Amino acid sequence: MAGVSNMVETSNRASVLLVGVVCAVVAVVAVGLGLLPQAQVRAGEPFPDAAAALESAGVRSSYLYCLDRASGDYVFTFTLPLSNAGVRTVASGGDEIWFTESDVDRIGRLVYTATTDYVYTPYTLTTGSEPLELTLSDGQVWFTAPGGDYIGRLDPATSTVEQYQVVAGSAPADLDVASDGAVWFTLPGVDAIGRLVITSTVDYAVTTYTTALLDGGRPYGIAVSGSDVVYVAQTANDRVSVFTPPNEWVHIQGTGLLGIPDDPYDLVIDGLGRVWGTERAGNRVSRFDFGTYPLISTNNVLPVGSLPTAIDADGDNHVWFTQSGAGQIGRLTPSVPPERNYFPLPCPGLIPTGISVDGQGAVWVVASQPRRIYVPTVLKSRES
């Protein structure tokens, strides 16, 4: 189905944070404590006493796991120093693993060499930022901050964090970087998607796009193809959409009682250009084909009610995903017939929320003990 696109563009200037200094470039905002990065934790070193105090108070722990693709075994576990970190997502690039610590307003980096050789460094953001999703591009770390309504960019070389404000109350969620360097992101708070373009060292432009079939959709997952076509998962509308700038929309939506797709959440594009997504309520990992007749190829996963959430694809075009309701991750091999494999996390009762496959045969997963999981509320009714 095609739709009419509404577009709103704004131009702004970036807010910048430097380590221990305030950058007076143009419009400058002091971010958080103004001190980045924080103290490092190296392999074999004890965690700060504050972490032990939180543990004794019953605060939940967060973990970073590494699974070896070849053996299917978990070969590394890192427990975050702050037990209430609330990790949400993870992205791997070479020997650097990046993840969001939403509950403590931090971005974490683990430089990993071996199971006994690694360095962890946290970067503090503005209080209330609640960083959610992140992605790596050209040596920069891009992330969404729904609590602060901004897109952030962290430069690891300088420890500089720049803020790019978006629509107030829009709660930016997922993001991806296009081949032209533009950053695309979902705005579930206002049922729209956005595009960020950096126009100079201090200026930027944010353009928002929406259409009638996005109303009430609470878009979350987003993925951009090599030809800069944008794919969007509408969690509340049971719809996956494709947007070709500047104004062309096509939608795959649920069909009556089948509810296909059913609560689509995260999206990824594999090396063959195929679009894959998780369906939380549908308990499926599905392939979405947008041709003359849009089609869905569904793959049910086990157990029932496992809540597939985050998704990624490896170099062999296997699809990896977290199952937040089952404490495990899964792998889908798109063969004929499809093959499914499951890998329970080492510690039972955890909620995996982020997954990333690197080019060196490792699958990185972040998970937390049950407390609260930052997943946008799906506002839709279901008939019993």
In the chain, where the domains are located: 2-43+61-368
pLDDT digits (tens, 9 = 90+) for 285-303: 999 988 767 788 899 999 9
* Tens digit of each residue's pLDDT (9 = 90 or more) over 357-375: 998 889 999 999 985 444 4
The span from the CA of 171 to the CA of 166, in Å, is 9
Mean pLDDT of 126-134: 98
CB 243 within 8 A of CB 228: no
pTM: predicted TM-score of the whole model, two decimal places: 0.84
pLDDT greater than 50 at residue 257: no
Sheet strand arrangement including 284-289: 264-269, 275-279, 284-289, 295-300
pLDDT, mean of residues 209-214: 96
Q: What pLDDT shows up at residue 55?
A: 39
| Cα–Cα distance measured from residue 125 to residue 104, given in angstroms and rounded to the nearest whole number | 9
CB 130, CB 124: distance < 8 Å: no
Whether 50 has a pLDDT exceeding 50, the answer reads no
* pLDDT greater than 80 at residue 26: no
User: Which of 10-14, 182-186, 249-253, 278-282 bottoms out in mean pLDDT, i.e. has the lowest?
Assistant: 10-14
Name which of 163, 153, 161 is nearest 37 in CA terms: 161
Query: How much is the mean pLDDT over the chain?
Result: 84
| Average pLDDT, integer, range 351-360 | 96
Higher local confidence (pLDDT), 358 or 3: 358
pLDDT value at residue 291: 76
Distance CA 330, CA 279 (A): 14
Tell me what pLDDT residue 374 has: 44
| pLDDT over 50 at 208, yes or no | yes
2-43+61-368 CATH choice from 2.40.50.100, 2.60.120.200, 3.30.450.20, 2.130.10.10: 2.130.10.10
pLDDT at residue 377 above 50?
no
- Concatenated DSSP letters for 162-225? EEEE-STT-----EEE-TTSPEEEEETTTTEEEEEEE-SSSEEEEEEEE-GGGTT--EEEEEE-
pLDDT for residue 295: 81
**Whole-number pLDDT of residue 373:** 41
